[in-house]
Structure 1
Amino acid sequence: MFGFLFRTIGLVLLVASFVALIADGVRSVAAERLVLTPLGATWYALDPSSLGLAQAVVQRYVAAFVWDPVIQTVLLWPTFAVGGVFALLLMALGRRRRPRRVEA
């Protein structure tokens, strides 16, 4: 059950990461230089209020130092790279295990 869910979410996230990679490629060709959209900019463009809410929740309930050096650094990484890594991680967590052969 959870394996199917992880694989499905991972596949959707992988497709979204590929779309972000294509968008960055198109922007790079148009600008005639390398353009990589940071995850924070993508998140802010999609839903700015949730980004502020996530910051408040992490700083209040987890720890302030987790937001400032850790999450802010990840938010500066390219969207396609972060999404691709999380997609592959979810797909690996949800992969089907092969039955073990017992040889006598």
Structure 2
Amino acid sequence: MLRLLTRLIGFLLLAVGFMALIVDGTRSIAGGGLMVTTLRRGAADAAPAFYQSIQSAVAAKSAFLWDPVLTTLMLLPVSVALGGLGALMIIFSHKQEATNRYWRR
């Protein structure tokens, strides 16, 4: 059941990443140049109050964590971040095949 839920969430994240890629591609074609939505801008546009509260809470705990690490991660495109996370969830939800059976040697 947990594997099914993980795979479902992975497919949803992969679909949202693909939709973000289509939106960025459409915006780039219309603008005549490459335009990419970063995680920071996507989160700030989707839920500005939540993004500000998370930023202030993490910065209050550790300024080292927010500045170099999360700032670098927040520069990733939404399509790459969500698509990659969804693909990893799908890959890790697959059942491992038993290789130690004596008749498969």
Smaller-chain TM-score bracket: 0.7 to 0.9
Q: In structure 2, the residue corresponding to 1:96 is in which secondary structure? A: coil
Q: Distance in 1 between matches of 2:101 and 2:48?
A: 54
Q: Distance in 1 between matches of 2:36 and 2:18?
A: 13
Q: How does 1:80-99 map to 2 (within 5 A)?
A: 80-99=79-98
Aligned length: 103
Q: Distance in 2 between matches of 1:38 and 1:64?
A: 21
Pair 1:53-2:50 in alignment: no
Deviations 1:8-65 (A, max 9, x none): 111100000000000000001101111111111111111011111211232334x221
Q: In structure 2, the residue corresponding to 1:34 is in which secondary structure? A: coil
Structure 1 residue 101 displacement after superposition: 5.4
Moved more, 76-85 or 87-96: 87-96
What is the RMSD computed on CA atoms of the aligned residues?
1.6
Q: Distance in 1 between matches of 2:53 and 2:94?
A: 32
Structure 1 residue 82 displacement after superposition: 0.9
- Aligned match of 2:77: 78
Q: In structure 2, the residue corresponding to 1:97 is in which secondary structure? A: coil
Of structures 1 and 2, the larger Rg is shown by 2
Q: Distance in 2 between matches of 1:71 and 1:89?
A: 20
Q: In structure 1, the residue corresponding to 2:37 is in which secondary structure? A: coil
Q: Distance in 2 between matches of 1:99 and 1:44?
A: 45
Moved more, 90-99 or 37-46: 90-99
TM-score by length of 2: 0.87
TM-score by length of 1: 0.88
- 5+ residue gaps, structure 1, are none
Identity of matched residues, %:
32
Deviations 1:39-95 (A, max 9, x none): 11111111011111211232334x221111111111111110111111112212222
- 5+ residue gaps, structure 2, are none
